[in-house]
Structure 1
Amino acid sequence: MTGAGRSTAAKELEDLGFYVVDNLPPTLLRDVVRLVDDSRGPQQPIAVVVDVRSGSFFDTLRANLAYGVTGRRSTLVFLDATDDVLVRRQEAARRPHPLQGSGRLLDGLRREREVLASLRSNADLVIDTTNKNVHQLTDRIADAFGTPEAVRLKVTVVSFGFKYGIPIDADLVADMRFLPNPHWVPELRERTGLDPDVADYVKDRDAAVAFLDQYLAVVETVAEGYLAEGKRFATIAIGCTGGKHRSVAMTEEIAQRLVDHGYDARPAHRDLGRE
């Protein structure tokens, strides 16, 4: 139903790894499946969003979803809500209903219910979003279609140099300039934080050990909140003066500890080699 959360559900499915196609005429469904199979393989999940704008194409939807037609198992999900909630959402969005014509918004919703009645009755899963907010709807979609891998927080831990500026996409920023700088050690100056000797010099200090233990606890607390709010991607920026020694070593260590704690984490080094 228009206003029941179609765009939110589609975005969540995309975040879960689905190839999403919006407002597709069902007669083209087999073509989409074939193209995705050829380009990404049959293991790539597909989500096709079909709404009332597809009109008479609804008559062919079930036939085109049959397993023998596409070669895939399909699940038909119907999003619904009460009329008063749908009216309120549409008015807030300031959009006319596609079936409203010259009538009232409620008239368009009633026509839509008539058109979609058979689809709703045949749906494998009906999600009533009347009392759901955006986060609750994404959680419901994730529960139904997410894999353990897909619903984990994906973290990029990126090192940077403060003299080049803080990464604009950072969710969290930590400053490693409180640690001794290997730049002032002649035998370490030309090396980077990826070198074991430099990494040991940075990490094997009481201050570094204390920071790592306490900061990881903070990150885990934030991560739980992110997931609860439907946010599944995070960027942690770890900085030092030039992004060569301290931030690189600590970024590698933080990323590895996050992996050890079950997060999908990877290190990246924005300014390494920039000097």
Structure 2
Amino acid sequence: MDSLPTRDVEVVLLTGASGAGRSTAAHVMEDLGYYVVDNLPPSMIPEALRLASAESAIERIAIVTDVRSRAFPGGLPGVVGIIKSLEDAGIRPTVVFLDCSDDVLVRRFENVRRAHPLQGNGTILEGIEAEKAMLRSVRGTAHLLIDTSDLSVHDLRRVLEDAFDGQVGRDLRMTVMSFGFKYGLPRDADLVFDARYLPNPHWDPRLRPFTGRDAPVSDFVLSQDGASEALGHLRDLVRTVLPGYRREGKRYMTIAIGCTGGKHRSVAMAEALADRLRGPGIDLRVLHRDLGKE
């Protein structure tokens, strides 16, 4: 690829499902100081990077590519080959993939009274399914997968600001998340652990009003047989795979711990696991997805 950058430029490739928030994400990246190029066919990415590298004022570039490029040779699936070629040349773009559940996407398209780009004469859901098939290979390249099903515009902004505030390329960003199985599995988790094997504080009237962030519940959960052992094994597992994440250029890792409602056991275990994982080279945050829903 002769048209690759001759100067280091921080590169973010932004893609994902139509209706999942790409436009919002592009605006956020622009606010964070990125030069944003929207609706760029994958085949033109190397040339865009070459041009960006020739401009001394451009230090960071975010390229949005999606199904709108399907009319060009290679279409969106071609981005996988482009990413591989960039990596072979020593350029490691950060791939951000925005995803969303089908029912939320349908509702969003209905609310704005717009057709899905791949809908044609069919239904919105048929368009969504066609796009997901087209995106499957691209989704597998993502370094940062963001599920916007339950995110507001402001939530999405915070997620991107957390990820791209100047730390990209240095520390690995790790999120330890608690969740409730009854609200669904987190779609953007890399590792999922089930804490429902532990006794449920919900059935103790004295503990029920508290959450896993409160000492009475935390002490109860962590004192149960198998709790400390599980945390130790999880810590060791994460430490084992971290070198592979860094070697493959993955800068983000989400570990999800679930219980029934996401209020007691998963919260206590997530907080305790985070305490065991904090250390040099890891930028860690704790997120309690479903806390407060009960």
TM-score (norm 1): 0.53
3-state secondary structure, aligned to 1:215: helix
CA contact (8 A) 2:4 2:49 kept: no
Tell me the distance in 2 between the aligned counterparts of 1:200 and 1:250: 10
Does structure 2 conserve the Cα–Cα contact (< 8 Å) formed by 1:156 and 1:236?
Answer: yes
**Among residues 253, 256, 266, which one is paired with 1:247 in the alignment?**
266
Q: Is the 8 A contact 1:135 1:229 kept in 2?
A: no
Counterpart-to-counterpart distance in 2, 1:234 and 1:176: 19
Residues 258 and 264 in structure 1, CA contact (< 8 A), matched pair in contact too: no
Larger Rg: 1
Give 1:167's match in structure 2, choosing from 180, 186, 190. 186
Match of 1:20 among 28, 31, 34: 34
Do 2:171 and 2:251's aligned partners in 1 also have CA atoms closer than 8 Å?
yes
**How far does the alpha carbon of each residue in 1:42-63 deviate from its partner, in whole angstroms, 9 at most, with x for none?**
xxxxxxx763599xxx7xx6xx
- Tell me which amino acid in the other structure corresponds to 2:288: H
CA offsets per residue over residues 169-188 of structure 1, 9 Å max, x none? 11110000111111122210
Shift of 1:10: 3.7
CA distance in 2 between partners of 1:218 and 1:3 (Å)? 41
Alpha-carbon contact 2:196-2:260 (below 8 Å) kept: yes
What is the aligned counterpart of 1:191 among 207, 210, 218? 210
Counterpart Cα distance in 2 of 1:136 and 1:221: 28
Structure 1 counterpart of 2:173: 154
Distance 2:88 2:199 in 1: 43
Q: CA deviation at 1:22?
A: 6.1
Q: Any stretches of 5+ residues in structure 1 without a counterpart?
A: 24-48, 76-92, 96-130, 142-146
State the shift of 1:192 in Å: 0.5
Match of 1:204 in 2: 223
**What is the letter of the counterpart of residue 21 of structure 1?**
Y
Aligned counterpart, 1:51: 50
1-structure distance, mates of 2:261, 2:243: 31
Q: Is the 8 A contact 1:173 1:237 kept in 2?
A: yes
Shift of 1:206: 3.6
Q: Does the CA-based 8 Å contact 1:135-1:228 persist in structure 2?
A: no
1:254 maps to a residue whose letter is: L
Question: Is the counterpart of residue 137 in structure 1 residue 90 in structure 2?
Answer: yes
CA distance in 2, matches of 1:153, 1:263: 5
CA distances 1:127-182 after superposition (whole Å, capped 9, x unpaired): xxxx98617724699xxxxx988422111111100011001111110000111111
Q: What RMSD over aligned residues (CA atoms) do the two structures have, in Å?
A: 3.9
Distance 1:204 1:167, change over 3 A: same
What amino acid is aligned across from residue 167 of structure 1 in structure 2? P
d(CA) in 1 for partners of 2:52 and 2:289? 45
Q: Equivalents in 2 of 1:52, 1:224: separation in Å?
A: 33
TM-score of the superposed pair, with normalisation by structure 2 = 0.50
Show the 5 A alignment for 1:222-233.
Answer: 222-233=241-252
**1:178 — aligned with what?**
197
Q: Is the 8 A contact 1:175 1:238 kept in 2?
A: yes
Number of equivalences: 175
How far apart, CA to CA, are the structure 2 residues paired with 1:255 and 1:135? Answer: 34
Q: Write the mapping of 1:45-124 to structure 2, written as runs, cut at 5 A.
A: 51=50, 94=73
Whole-Å Cα distance in 2 between the matches of residues 169 and 13 of structure 1?
17
- Determine helix, strand or coil for the equivalent of 1:137: coil
In structure 2, relative to structure 1, the CA distance for the partners of 1:152 and 1:138 (3 Å cut) is: farther
Once the two structures are TM-superposed, the CA of residue 221 in structure 1 deviates from its matched residue by 1.6
